[in-house]
A and B are shown apart, each in its own frame.
Chain A
Amino acid sequence: MTVGPVQTQRVVLATPDDPLDLASGRRLRHVEVAYETYGTFTGANAVFVCHALTGDAHAAGHHGDPARRGWWDNIIGPGRPLDTDRFFVVCANLLGGCQGTTGPSSIDPDTGQPYGMDFPLLSVSDLVAAHRRLLRRLDIERLHAVVGGSLGGMQALSWALEAPTEVDATVIVAASSRLSAQNIAFSAVAREAIMRDPDFQGGAYYGTGRSPQVGLAVARMMAHITYLSEAAMTAKFGRRFQDSDTPRFGFGVDFQVESYLRHQGESFLARFDALSYLYLSRALDYYDPFAEPDAPAQLARAAQAGTRALVLSFDTDWRFDTSHSLRIARRLEHAGVPTTFREIASETGHDSFLLPIPEYHAIVDAFLDAGRDRAA
């Protein structure tokens, strides 16, 4: 069963009288958030879904065309692990994004112009702070669970650390508590591609009729390589040619994998803003919650609050390999947080967290279900 037609809603969550204070010390005097909900709220059944770097609020169901479904439709719906017959599922576009929530392309109330590079740097805590405001607006005091993959998993982890009494359970999939040098290197090259594009114009490209499309497409193409395993790419493309059985011996798009990457880059342009990419990828680079001075106290409070954690990784994920997930699981377990961890076998690399892998979905289902019995 699937979620049917849904609508994205928008709500103002920060105003000049009630600004959002950021970890950097800067503040946002106007924050709007785009979100969707699925299922019926009954008081103790809310599950918050945090999306990854380039996701959006449209996690499940459709906006009119049943063939075009939300990005995590395979896990959200009646009878699915995030069962909308039992759970009230909320997904919001994250702060700094460009799909309905305030970000660098939004209007700065001080100037009447888009923020551009004047938008403040964001941390994962800031993304969570915006989500928490949405929770209060929806009159949800406590979440049955917060669930996320990749950057979404980082938000879930930070939520459990910063406000453990709001979170009964945390599901952290294919995430990291601290990017490695290699991870940061990939981010750096992606940002260089964007910032060195002549149309970037020092970040002041809004309203010029030009934007760093080449840079953003290259950034996306490169990132996409890190989302797939070598085996998955081999299975999908091999060394097959796009339009012929023989090589054409030139510099055009000849191999299928080249055509696929080009398509990924170009289709990304229609839905994503280059500055959002810079800001959000930078939030990942700096993320290191266990190194914060407050971390030991946060971990102790999380253990005290009785919040449970599920940490999952995939054996072919080389963007955030299992050692990243194990570090998170170890930290939580050492602190006394009831922690469940498993590396799941999968062929599909980092992208596995978006795919309906039976073992993965069975574990998430069992974990959410067990807590539900206990809460009842």
Chain B
Amino acid sequence: MPDGTVRPDLEIVSSLVPRGSRVLDLGCGQGDLLEYLGGQGCRGTGVEIDKEAFLASVRRGVAVLSLDLDSDLDAFADDSYDVVVLSQTLQTTRRPQHVLTQMARIAPAGIVSVPNFAFWRHRVELMLRGRMPVSAELPYPWYQTPNIHLSTLPDTEALMAEVGLIVKHRVLLDEQHRRLRRTGLASNARAAQAVYRVGRRS
């Protein structure tokens, strides 16, 4: 962005990326994160299939490949990047397990941000109103949401463990994208979103 700021959740993601890294941003959207990281000395590549978002990335000068995350990630060589970013993207893929496995292959480190379906507001909607939750994190009605694979924090963490990724660091965010200060008690109900820094199990 012109004033040098990025979305709060992207700022947290970028704070987890070492300066000068080679970064692959899967589902890079309009390229804001990569543009910001470019200013931090990182060399980035984006992947984005959406026509308008792709064009916006190109206009920003971001290198972006229009590939399908579910089927085309074998285009990237083993260990060809330092960090793979999956920012609010995993839940939109058809094959989240495959995407995480590819992520672990392409870079030794990953950053994954996901909405938390077990957030208390979602629980309330489901339990009291009996309706699929619509919230700031999940703003679409069920029949037109791109978020087709929703999970809770323990679900996400279990899948990461299954594909050989270990969580090195976890940041939990509330609805305003502020960090939760105490993360122990009932965090799976209090977090609207989580950002993980993960690495390979050695």
From residue 335 to 367 of chain A, which have CB atoms closer than 8 A to chain B? Answer: 336, 338-343, 359, 362-363, 366-367
Chain A residues, CB < 8 A from B77: 334
- Chain B nearest Cβ from A360, distance in angstroms: 11
CB pair A359–B51 under 8 Å, yes or no, is: yes
Interface membership of B164, Cβ < 8 A: no
**A-chain residues with CB within 8 Å of residue B76 when the two chains form the complex:** 333
Chain A residue, CB-CB nearest to B56? A366
Dominant secondary structure at the B interface: mixed
Q: B168 at the A/B interface (Cβ < 8 Å)?
A: no
The reply to whether A341 and B59 form a contact with Cβ atoms under 8 Å apart is no
Instruction: State whether A366 touches B58 (Cβ < 8 A).
Output: yes
- A369 CA to B76 CA, complexed, in Å: 27
A31 to B75, CA, bound (A): 42
B59 x A343 contact (CB < 8 A): no
- Is B41's CB within 8 Å of the partner chain A? no
A338 pairs with B59, CB closer than 8 A: no
Determine if A330 is an interface residue (Cβ-Cβ < 8 Å): yes
Residues of B within 8 A of A308 (CB): 63
**CB pair A333 B45 closer than 8 Å:** yes
Known: A333-B45, A333-B76. A338 touches B63 (CB 8 A): yes
Minimum CB distance partner of A367 in chain B: B58
Q: How far apart are the CA atoms of A366 and B62 in the complex, in Å? A: 11
- CB of A374 within 8 A of CB of B61, answer yes
Chain A: number of interface residues, binned into ranges = 20 to 34
Complex partner residue of A363 from B55, B63, B67, B80, CB under 8 angstroms: B55
A340-B63 Cα distance, complex, nearest whole Å: 5
0/1 per residue, B61-90, Cβ < 8 Å to A? Answer: 101111100000001110010000000000
Q: How far is the CB of B105 from chain A (nearest CB, A)?
A: 14
Give every chain A residue within 8 A of B65 (Cβ-Cβ): 329, 333, 339-342
Is B43 part of the binding interface, using a Cβ–Cβ cutoff of 8 Å? yes
Tell me whether A339 and B63 are in contact (CB under 8 A): yes
Q: Is A65 an interface residue (CB 8 A)?
A: no
Residue of A nearest to B75 (CB): A330
User: Which B residues are in CB contact (< 8 Å) with A338?
Assistant: 43, 45, 63
Q: A289 vs B64: C-alpha distance in the bound complex, in angstroms?
A: 23
The distance from the CB of B102 to the nearest CB of chain A, in whole angstroms, is 15
User: Bound state CA distance, A326 and B65, in angstroms?
Assistant: 10
* Contact with A370, one of B54, B61, B67 (Cβ below 8 angstroms): B61
Contact assessment for B80 and A334 in the assembled complex, using a CB-CB cutoff below 8 Å:
yes
Q: Which residue from chain B places its CB closest to the CB of A371 in the assembled complex?
A: B61
Q: Is B19 in contact with chain A by the CB < 8 A criterion?
A: no
Bound complex: CA of A370 vs CA of B57, how far in Å?
10
B7 at the interface (CB under 8 A from A): no
Q: Which residues of A contact B58 (CB under 8 A)?
A: 310, 340, 363, 366-367, 370
Across the interface, B66 reaches (CB within 8 A) one of A330, A336, A343, namely A343
- Of all chain A residues, the one with the shortest Cβ separation from B67 is A341
Complex CA–CA separation, A373 to B45 (angstroms): 19
Smallest Cβ-Cβ distance to B80: which chain A residue? A334
Measured between C-beta atoms, what is the minimum distance from B100 to chain A in Å? 21
Contact A366 B64 (CB under 8 A): no
**A334: which B residues are within 8 A, CB to CB?**
77, 80
Let me know if A342 and B54 touch, CB within 8 A. Answer: yes
**Could you say which residues of chain A place their CB within 8 Å of the CB of B43?**
336, 338
Cα–Cα, bound, A341→B66 (Å): 6
In the complex, the chain B residue whose C-beta lies closest to that of A327 is B75
Contact of B75 among A333, A342, A373 (CB under 8 A): A333
CB–CB B75/A326 < 8 A = yes
User: Does B60 sit at the interface, judged by CB under 8 A?
Assistant: yes
Closest 7 A-B residue pairs measured CB to CB? A370-B61, A338-B63, A342-B66, A366-B59, A366-B58, A341-B65, A330-B75
Known: A333-B65, A341-B66, A367-B58. 16 other contacts (CB 8 A): A310-B58, A329-B65, A329-B75, A330-B75, A333-B75, A334-B80, A338-B45, A338-B63, A339-B65, A340-B63, A341-B65, A359-B51, A359-B55, A363-B58, A370-B61, A371-B61
24 A–B pairs (Cβ distance < 8 Å), ordered by A: A333-B75, A333-B76, A334-B77, A334-B80, A336-B43, A338-B45, A339-B63, A339-B65, A340-B58, A340-B63, A340-B65, A341-B66, A342-B65, A343-B66, A359-B55, A362-B55, A363-B54, A363-B55, A366-B55, A370-B58, A370-B60, A371-B61, A373-B61, A374-B61
